[in-house]
Copies of this chain bind each other. A is one copy, B any other.
Amino acid sequence: MGLNIKDIAKLAGVSPATVSRVINETGNVAEEKKQRVLKVLKETGYKPNALARGLLLNKTNVIGVIVPDLSNINFAEFVKGIENEAKLNGLGVLLTTSENDTDSEISYFQLFKEKRVDGIIFSGTIFTEKHREELEKADIPFIVFGQWFEHYKLICVNIDNEKAAYEATKYLISKGAKNLSMIMGPLWDRSAGYDRYSGFLKAVVEGGISPKDVVLEEGDFTIKSGYRAMKRILEKKNVDGVLAANDFMALGAIKYLVDMGMMIPDEVQIMGFDDNMISEIYNPSLSTVKINFYEAGRICVKAFVDRINNKPIENNILLPYELVIRGSTK
């Protein structure tokens, strides 16, 4: 209870410096004294105070993590990946959720600065100039997931959303879809929603379809918004191919189509983005662009570790993705 290194030193009949040397395996210690110290260490279950250590070494072995919402299984997977990789590197994870509220996010920067975390992994829907400013003040190594943001200090980890959306749309067209539509996410600059939209458009044009003939509706990445967007789309036109900017909206769209008695994929093909557990087991199962969020989390931590170890490292890290074809497309 409340033992410190002095107590251990006294119990082992040595100086605190020697105890420290034994614990951290630094410097030479006579075998006999070493054994005495180890014995006391074991008996007492003493653990060095990370606060004092951190204060002295200016290093906490903790990374701060900001995600929008753990209810979203993708972010839960992301955090899981972070946690597992952090564990491998002897790092602790200080977790916060922002619900995409910028003020919250900024206040977390402050929190992390106070707690002297060694680095921050940030995953919000949008990283703004204001974020950058505050970040600059805090001056902590920083990893952004899911968005590109040009800054020499920033490491960005992301997939090539435009290319992925392009390929997904190409696939729909190759399977005979002629009347295309897209359920888009919010179109912030440089956001995933935006990039996916432009990839979609690129494939449309390349497929010889006029952008005017395409139906666009916007959702907010939730199942419900997908349901409603699909409704609006069908009211405008009888489409036969739908790309949704994420799986939740795609699932909502499927639900609406099923409710309306449409045949999937015979009458309408539909494709999502992200891939989560539900997409696989849903009926019909959903074709999608699979992003490995777990792996993404691990990669973020690896990038951070490399950076603080001064290993040469790209500022923009591209994640792999994969088209997964299931029951909602031909």
| A233 beta carbon closer than 8 Å to chain B | no
Q: Which residues of A come within 8 Å of B, CB atoms?
A: 1, 45, 47-52, 54-55, 60, 62, 69-71, 73, 76-77, 79-80, 83-84, 87, 92-97, 110-111, 113-116, 137-139, 223, 251, 255, 258, 277-278, 281-283
Please name the residue on chain B nearest to A280 by beta carbon: B223
Please name the residue on chain B nearest to A277 by beta carbon: B278
Complex A-B: 23 CB contacts under 8 Å: A45-B138, A49-B116, A51-B60, A51-B116, A62-B94, A69-B80, A70-B70, A70-B76, A70-B77, A70-B80, A71-B76, A71-B80, A71-B277, A79-B95, A83-B96, A92-B111, A92-B115, A93-B94, A93-B96, A251-B281, A281-B282, A282-B282, A282-B283
Per the bound structure, the CA–CA distance linking A164 and B60 in Å amounts to 44
Query: What secondary structure prevails in chain A residues at the interface with B?
Result: helix
Query: From residue A120, how far is it (CB to closest CB) to chain B in Å?
Result: 13
Given pairs A84-B97, A95-B95, 8 additional interface contacts (CB within 8 A): A49-B114, A49-B116, A50-B115, A51-B54, A70-B80, A83-B95, A92-B115, A281-B282
Query: From residue A261, how far is it (CB to closest CB) to chain B in Å?
Result: 14
Closest 4 CB pairs of A and B: A76-B76, A70-B80, A95-B95, A51-B55
Copies in the complex: 2
- List chain B residues, Cβ under 8 A from A70: 70, 76-77, 79-80, 83
- List chain B residues, Cβ under 8 A from A83: 70, 95-97
Query: From residue A98, how far is it (CB to closest CB) to chain B in Å?
Result: 10
Given A114-B47, A114-B49, A278-B277, answer yes or no on A87-B96 (Cβ-Cβ < 8 Å).
yes
Taking a contact as CB atoms under 8 Å apart, the answer to whether B97 and A80 are in contact is yes
Contact of A73 among B48, B52, B73 (CB under 8 A): B73
Query: From residue A78, how far is it (CB to closest CB) to chain B in Å?
Result: 9
Query: From residue A266, how far is it (CB to closest CB) to chain B in Å?
Result: 18
Query: From residue A136, how far is it (CB to closest CB) to chain B in Å?
Result: 10
Query: From residue A306, how far is it (CB to closest CB) to chain B in Å?
Result: 23
- List chain B residues, Cβ under 8 A from A55: 49, 51-52, 55
Per the bound structure, the CA–CA distance linking A227 and B168 in Å amounts to 32
Please name the residue on chain B nearest to A79 by beta carbon: B70
Per the bound structure, the CA–CA distance linking A283 and B278 in Å amounts to 12
Taking a contact as CB atoms under 8 Å apart, the answer to whether B96 and A94 are in contact is no
Query: From residue A128, how far is it (CB to closest CB) to chain B in Å?
Result: 18
- List chain B residues, Cβ under 8 A from A97: 80, 83-84
Query: From residue A49, how far is it (CB to closest CB) to chain B in Å?
Result: 6
- List chain B residues, Cβ under 8 A from A62: 94, 115
